[in-house]
Structure 1
């Protein structure tokens, strides 16, 4: 099997629209949650979210790309452009069929769908739809437009596994490079779910926090007063590359990817398994593939969305894998970014990679009163980031439908 390394990173997040800002604000423990500005949320039960701020797609996108793409695709193109630039890949020296795109999104062009259907109703049900309606809507268009922008003719497709989506994308890219099917991939995920229908739908599920008076403190994983997740948006992009190819061209290598696994809970449409059965197996399989004992993992970025049921079940799973008193440092960075749905895994993978390069563990913020259901022996880093040796980092993502996806990165 080939070795796989990360040679480029890009991000559009509620904490910053580039890697430096994203990482610095995460390390500083900043909350991105505030009252929604994208639409009037007055009548909604949840009136806040973690929005991307000061986003100017024209910095990386051509005018026709902006016109023809939904916001989730604009986020994807923007993050991918940063990652490609960061990687230093010289595509003129590569076979275009050796470089592919595997991208993920849970909802795709939700904003486009709402806009076009609303116009249909307002126009008296006259079917005057935009010719860009379907191309902007479909979930695979982000991967397609990334490939068109750079002339990448290798494998190109989109994964959808709810909130595990971008971990699934990264895992697939990892495996194809390992098998010698490609030299490099642009991979990750993007999401633009801060729309009336999306916010209303998740609110109807009673999945989101309603702490409208203090949105900045609403995402509080593991806290006894947590009442649901905070919606986020954005994109994370990674360039995965075959190690020998990266080494030969003198690329800057952030870290090596050494393990990945996916399982299913086969339990419930929206709830995680209370005993974390699927999560346990995903972590065990990823460790097995990485040929690592659990005690070699220094940092775990948990899925922990700040929901009453999900947080304790993940801790249960972690204890089963790492022991009753896990030695690894744990943080839930959704406390700062909110939940980016299909883009969450990519953003959190970037934080894991930066933790490895900088030997810093970002914090879990807003966790003031630890839920008694969370054992105190579990080392959750709260309040402020810490300096710590991080040689191996793991990240978990779990999605509606019972999808579990775990990735492992290692210092090189």
Structure 2
């Protein structure tokens, strides 16, 4: 099996429209939440979200690309372009069939779907739909558009496993390179879910925070007063590359992926197993594949979304595997970015990679009164980032339907 490294990063998310600003705001402990501006949310229980600010698609997309794509695809192209530029790959000198795109999207073109159906309902008897309705809507268009923009003719598809989606995409790309079926992948995920139907649907499930008068403090994983997640949007992109290929061209290498695993709760449509049994197995399998013992993990970016059940379930899973670890630090950066659904795993993979490169661990902000049911001995970095060398980091991402995923990143020497 071939080794797989990360050689490029890109993002657009509520904390920043590039990796540098994203990281700076994470370390500063800034919340990106505010009142929803995309539509009138006054009739909903939750009226807050973590929106992307000052997005300028023309920086990386032309006008025709913008016209033909939903926002989730625009975010995908935007972040992927950054990552490819960061990688220094000379695509025109490579065999285009050696470069693939595996992208993750959970919901797809919700904004497109809502606007087109609304126009149809309000319109006359002649059905009027845009010829771009279907292409803008379908979730695989993000990977398709990235491949078209850069002429990438290798393996190309989109994964979906709810909020574990980006991790699924990254581990698929990891496995294809290990098997020698590609030299490079553009991978990650994007989501643009801040729409009336999407917000309304999650509100109906009572999954979202209703701290409408205090949005900056609404996303508060592990806090006793947490009341649900805050929706976010955006994208994260990683360039995965076969190690010898990267080494030969003198690429900058951020980290190596050394293990990845998925399991299923087989328990409930939307609720995690309360004991976190399968989630624990996902982490255990990923560490085993990496050839590492539990005490070698330095940082774990938790899925923790700020829901009453999910946060503690995950911590119970962590305690099953890492109870004896003395060095492991935990945090949930969703406290600052909100929950990007299918794109969450991608931007949190970037967090793990940056901790390895910078030796700084971002905090879980808004953790004022820790839930007393948190298992003893777990070290959650609360409210302020800390300096600590990180050689091995893990990113968890879990999704409705009982999908659990864990990816292990390691410093490369």
Fold shared per TM-score above 0.5: yes
Q: 1:9-408, aligned counterparts within 5 Å?
A: 9-124=9-124, 126-323=126-323, 327-408=327-408
Q: What TM-score does the superposition give when structure 1 sets the normalisation length? A: 0.99
Structure 2 counterpart SS, 1:406: strand
Q: Quote the offset at 1:278 in angstroms.
A: 1.2
2:323·2:378 contact (CA, 8 Å) conserved in 1?
no
Distance 1:339 1:223 in 2: 16
1:319·1:326 contact (CA, 8 Å) conserved in 2?
no
Cα displacement string for residues 231-279 of structure 1 (whole angstroms, at most 9, x for unaligned residues)? 0000000000000000000100000111100111000000001111110
**Structure 1 moving runs of 4+ over 2 Å:** 324-327
Distance 1:48 1:193 in 2: 13
Q: Quote the offset at 1:125 in angstroms.
A: 5.2
Cα displacement string for residues 285-341 of structure 1 (whole angstroms, at most 9, x for unaligned residues)? 101110000111100000000000001110100010111565300000000000000
1:96·1:154 contact (CA, 8 Å) conserved in 2?
yes
Cα displacement string for residues 70-99 of structure 1 (whole angstroms, at most 9, x for unaligned residues)? 000000000000000000110122110000
Structure 2 counterpart SS, 1:309: helix
Structure 2 counterpart SS, 1:397: strand
1:2·1:177 contact (CA, 8 Å) conserved in 2?
yes
Q: CA RMSD in A?
A: 0.8
Structure 2 counterpart SS, 1:185: strand
Structure 2 counterpart SS, 1:390: coil
Cα displacement string for residues 360-401 of structure 1 (whole angstroms, at most 9, x for unaligned residues)? 000000010000001342100001000001000001000000
Gaps of 5+ in 1: none
Structure 1 counterpart SS, 2:308: coil
Structure 2 counterpart SS, 1:344: helix
Compared CA separation, residues 125 and 376, structure 1 to 2 (3 A): farther
2:319·2:375 contact (CA, 8 Å) conserved in 1?
no
2:295·2:325 contact (CA, 8 Å) conserved in 1?
no
1:319·1:325 contact (CA, 8 Å) conserved in 2?
no
Distance 1:31 1:324 in 2: 32
Q: Quote the offset at 1:40 in angstroms.
A: 1.2
Distance 2:324 2:244 in 1: 39
Distance 1:395 1:68 in 2: 33
Q: Quote the offset at 1:182 in angstroms.
A: 0.3
Distance 2:372 2:212 in 1: 25
Structure 2 counterpart SS, 1:224: coil
Aligned residues: 412
1:169·1:187 contact (CA, 8 Å) conserved in 2?
yes
Gaps of 5+ in 2: none
Structure 2 counterpart SS, 1:312: helix
2:31·2:216 contact (CA, 8 Å) conserved in 1?
yes
1:102·1:187 contact (CA, 8 Å) conserved in 2?
yes
Q: What TM-score does the superposition give when structure 2 sets the normalisation length? A: 0.99
1:120·1:127 contact (CA, 8 Å) conserved in 2?
yes
Q: Quote the offset at 1:124 in angstroms.
A: 3.6
Compared CA separation, residues 326 and 339, structure 1 to 2 (3 A): farther
